[in-house]
Amino acid sequence: MFSLSSTVQPQVTVPLSHLINAFHSPKSTSSVSASVSQSQHRDVVPEHEAPSNEPVLNLRDLGLSELKIGQIDQLVDHLLPGFCKGKNIFSHWHTSHVSAQSFFENKYGYIDVFNTLRSSCLYRQHSRTLKSICSDLQYWPVFIQSRGFKTLKSRTRRLQSTSERLAETQYIAPSFVKGFLLRDRGSDVETLDKLMKTKNIPEAHQDAFKTGFAEGFLKAQALTQKTNDSLRRTRLILFVLLLFGIYGLLKNPFLSVRFRTTTGLDSAVDPVQMKNVTFEHVKGVEEAKQELQEVVEFLKNPQKFTVLGGKLPKGILLVGPPGTGKTLLARAVAGEADVPFYYASGSEFDEMFVGVGASRIRNLFREAKANAPCVIFIDELDSVGGKRIESPMHPYSRQTINQLLAEMDGFKPNEGVIIIGATNFPEALDNALIRPGRFDMQVTVPRPDVKGRTEILKWYLNKIKFDQSVDPEIIARGTVGFSGAELENLVNQAALKAAVDGKEMVTMKELEFSKDKILMGPERRSVEIDNKNKTITAYHESGHAIIAYYTKDAMPINKATIMPRGPTLGHVSLLPENDRWNETRAQLLAQMDVSMGGRVAEELIFGTDHITTGASSDFDNATKIAKRMVTKFGMSEKLGVMTYSDTGKLSPETQSAIEQEIRILLRDSYERAKHILKTHAKEHKNLAEALLIYETLDAKEIQIVLEGKKLELR
Ligand SMILES: Nc1ncnc2c1ncn2[C@@H]1O[C@H](COP(=O)(O)OP(=O)(O)OP(=O)(O)O)[C@@H](O)[C@H]1O
Ligand SMILES: [Zn+2]
């Protein structure tokens, strides 16, 4: 039955919820008539509004929280004699709230405070759930004065026992799960009622039962607190992980490049130890290697050079076309001297953001100086050290180059830092960079000559399996103007071709094939060329070959083919015996004659009406040679030994004189070619027919055909 002592628990706020439970319990556990009376009562009460300025106090404030089981019963009995037996008050009177109260007052001589309390708080909004009412009544409106009593001792004991029990509960399930399970306090209160009813708990045990229930509630509260703590901890851990994640992403090479780009903080390049690259790896650039040898000596033993007070260059500028081995040489210098090698590309310093390029240069030099002796290599120096022109594309280039100049001035020549710069356009460099004290030593790295090309080809051929019949010199002769990188690529392509064809070794055929592919583009085997066009091409190409063969100063023939390749339908290749440093007038005229051979052949064999467009590039070539002979080489009697650079600015007379001379040279060449082809019409026909059968003929085969011998069938 109603018992305050059993519901009030020694904890600050909790007992109030249970107090509601206590108020609620007579209703739910009383007889049917009692509940009827209450429901009617509730019907009436809603019109009644409790005073809004009710003083509110919790049980602790009232001192009731410290009461032991049974003590509150006594207290209530004392204050309200007969209250505990007074259920008939609620059940027998079908009166309004006000009259019920005054009746009570008349009968007992004091106001029924509990009725007031019930009417103002509990039943004011009867449609609300028990749970919400419980939360409303965290505080108990009080109309009577009361004194509380507590002892420190009892309080300590209570706290102890609470924490002990809490600890027990914690091990049962994860705290956040408990938090969820125990959050619904309202339903707990309801459950207590039901439990009391359904379990038929004897009156003697009800106190203990309720105490236990209240303690459970306390644990739930403590667990909720614990859940909040653990959630906070989880959030903190997630935040720390997020920070780590962001840091990790920034360390990622791809993103860090972006990071560097925007901040320029970490721009120095890690040094690379270049032991495995030596001068032995760089072929065909003997002069450059000799010049760099003294730098290697200096890096190995700086004292030897400084004892006599001599100064070595701070900067060395490697000048040469792309792919000729400038980077390789710089690496070889570091490798020979066994010092760290710092690589930086000029374009890395070319930044849109102010100060970034300059700060990178600073970082690079700072690191290098700390690791001297060493080599700093700046590739594409022109992109950082170009002339300091104001350009919207490179707004801060001035700053960067100034920083580079300052850094180069900033260390003594004997500190052991050697800066090697490389460029394809030395003329584009800022003059301040190439004055003595900066890049004051220039080393030219030219395209390799035929000897150099042969060496480079041998070097790379030795890295693959090749047939003994391979003659690197022949390939070298046919690859005039190739750089080291292009020759390396040629050998590699030949190896790939051999692999595709299922061969065990690379032969001359694959090397020739890859040379033509690089020079003229890939073969177009799939192209269907009709017989008529094939025949025209065969006579056209044999025309070139016949002129080359029968002209004294023409280059030796290497090969003739009617296999379409790149934009051409066929071609004849000629090989100089050696790289030509100079060309004679006779050689130039011979080249023009060979070019004319194609068109002359078409005209002689098929007639003027059937000449084709296929000779246009031949004429281009011949015209260029004739023009240079007249305007540059002083090889025209009429115009004399004089150069004419900008023909557009010349007087009309001079212009027409130049034009006439070129015309005469070309016409004479055409006539000479015609004469040769008419003279060797038979050989011309034989060669064309052989080409139609074999598609490609090498130098030896051409010779056999032109000597009138039969070719062995392949
Ligand atoms: N003289 C050479 N001897 C051997 N290999 C060479 C030579 N020249 C070029 N190579 C090959 O070509 C590659 C590219 O050459 P490298 O990068 O040194 O040329 P580069 O002159 O620095 O070109 P760029 O001016 O384009 O930077 C080298 O790694 C090497 O494999
Ligand atoms: Zn031609």
**Three-class DSSP labels, 236-303:** HHHHHHHHHHHHHHHHCHHHHHHHHHHHCCCCCCCCEECCCCCHHHCCCCHHHHHHHHHHHHHHHCHH
Nearest ligand to the C-alpha atom of residue 323:
1
Nearest alpha carbon, ligand 1 atom 29: 328
Residues taking part in catalysis? 541
- Buried-state track 573-607, b at ≥16 Cβ within 10 A, e below 16: bbbeeebeeeeeeebbbbbbbbbbbbbbbbbbbbe
d(CA 511, CA 489): 11
CATH 1.10.8.60 boundaries in the chain: 450-519
CATH 1.20.58.760 boundaries in the chain: 524-707
Q: What atom in ligand 1 is closest to the CA of residue 283?
A: 3
Q: What atom in ligand 1 is closest to the CA of residue 318?
A: 21
d(CA 253, CA 255): 6
pLDDT of residue 487: 94
Nearest alpha carbon, ligand 1 atom 16: 325
Residues flanking ion ligand 2, Cβ below 5 Å: 598, 618
Give the DSSP per-residue string, 674-691.
HHHHHHTHHHHHHHHHHH
**What CATH class has 279-444?**
alpha beta
**CA torsion through residues 59, 61, 62, 65, sign:** positive
Comparing CA positions, the residue from 429, 446, 432 lying closest to residue 378 is 429
pTM above 0.90, yes or no: no
In this structure, what is the dihedral angle of CA atoms 167, 171, 173, 174, given to the nearest 10 degrees? 80
CA of 616 to the centre of ligand 2 (A): 8
Nearest ligand to the C-alpha atom of residue 289:
1
Identity of the amino acid at 415: E
Q: What atom in ligand 1 is closest to the CA of residue 424?
A: 25
Nearest alpha carbon, ligand 1 atom 25: 322
CA of 485 to the centre of ligand 1 (A): 5
CA of 36 to the centre of ligand 1 (A): 105
Q: What atom in ligand 1 is closest to the CA of residue 452?
A: 1
Q: What atom in ligand 1 is closest to the CA of residue 448?
A: 1
Helix axes 32-44, 14-29, angle to 10 degrees: 120
Dump strand ranges (E) for 424-534. 439-444
Per DSSP, 118 falls in state I
Specify whether the CB–CB gap between 490 and 462 falls below 8 A: no
Helices (H), 130-184: 130-136, 152-170, 175-182
Specify whether the CB–CB gap between 622 and 669 falls below 8 A: yes
Q: Does domain 450-519 have CATH number 1.10.8.60?
A: yes
Q: What are phi and psi of 506, to 5 degrees?
A: -85, 130
Pocket of ligand 1 (CB under 6 A): 282-285, 320, 322-328, 379, 422, 424, 456, 484-485, 488
First to last CA, the chain: 121
Nearest ligand to the C-alpha atom of residue 617:
2
Q: What atom in ligand 1 is closest to the CA of residue 329?
A: 18
From 292, 327, 457, 460, the mutation candidate for ligand 1 (largest count of ligand atoms within 8 A of CB) is: 327
CB atoms inside a 10 Å sphere around CB 202? 8
Specify whether the CB–CB gap between 290 and 301 falls below 8 A: no
Please, which residues bridge with residue 574 across strands?
A: 557
**Rg of the chain's alpha carbons, rounded to an integer?**
53
Q: How many helices (H) and strands (E) does the chain have?
A: 30, 11
Comparing CA positions, the residue from 423, 339, 408, 416 lying closest to residue 378 is 423
CA of 667 to the centre of ligand 1 (A): 44
Nearest alpha carbon, ligand 1 atom 26: 322
Specify whether the CB–CB gap between 399 and 357 falls below 8 A: yes
CA of 277 to the centre of ligand 1 (A): 12
Comparing CA positions, the residue from 577, 666, 667, 654 lying closest to residue 627 is 666
CA of 329 to the centre of ligand 1 (A): 8
Comparing CA positions, the residue from 505, 314, 549 lying closest to residue 412 is 314
Specify whether the CB–CB gap between 397 and 346 falls below 8 A: no
Nearest alpha carbon, ligand 1 atom 17: 327
Nearest ligand to the C-alpha atom of residue 618:
2
From 277, 286, 328, 457, the mutation candidate for ligand 1 (largest count of ligand atoms within 8 A of CB) is: 328
CATH 3.40.50.300 boundaries in the chain: 279-444
CA of 352 to the centre of ligand 1 (A): 30
CA of 413 to the centre of ligand 2 (A): 58
Comparing CA positions, the residue from 519, 607, 502 lying closest to residue 561 is 519
Residues of the chain with pLDDT under 70: 1-192, 249-275, 310, 350-356, 385-398, 412-414, 713-714
CA of 486 to the centre of ligand 1 (A): 9
Nearest ligand to the C-alpha atom of residue 595:
2
Nearest alpha carbon, ligand 1 atom 6: 484
Residue 282 sits at the vertex; the CA angle it makes with 276 and 288, to the nearest 5 degrees, is 120
d(CA 384, CA 405): 11
d(CA 104, CA 98): 10
Fold classified for 524-707 = Methane Monooxygenase Hydroxylase; Chain G, domain 1 (1.20.58)
ipTM above 0.85, yes or no: yes
d(CA 330, CA 148): 94
Specify whether the CB–CB gap between 295 and 377 falls below 8 A: no
Nearest alpha carbon, ligand 1 atom 12: 485
pLDDT of residue 360: 79
CA of 420 to the centre of ligand 2 (A): 46
Nearest ligand to the C-alpha atom of residue 612:
2
Nearest alpha carbon, ligand 1 atom 30: 485
Strand-strand pairing, 374-379 and 340-345: parallel
Specify whether the CB–CB gap between 330 and 377 falls below 8 A: yes
pLDDT of residue 5: 35
From 324, 341, 455, 479, the mutation candidate for ligand 1 (largest count of ligand atoms within 8 A of CB) is: 324
Q: What atom in ligand 1 is closest to the CA of residue 285?
A: 1
From 488, 489, 490, the mutation candidate for ligand 1 (largest count of ligand atoms within 8 A of CB) is: 488
CA of 540 to the centre of ligand 2 (A): 6
Find how far residue 77's CA is from the centre of its chain. 82
CB atoms inside a 10 Å sphere around CB 665? 22
Q: How many residues appear in the chain?
A: 714
Comparing CA positions, the residue from 310, 308, 312, 287 lying closest to residue 298 is 312
Nearest alpha carbon, ligand 1 atom 13: 485
Q: What atom in ligand 1 is closest to the CA of residue 321?
A: 25
Comparing CA positions, the residue from 86, 85, 98 lying closest to residue 41 is 98
Nearest alpha carbon, ligand 1 atom 24: 322
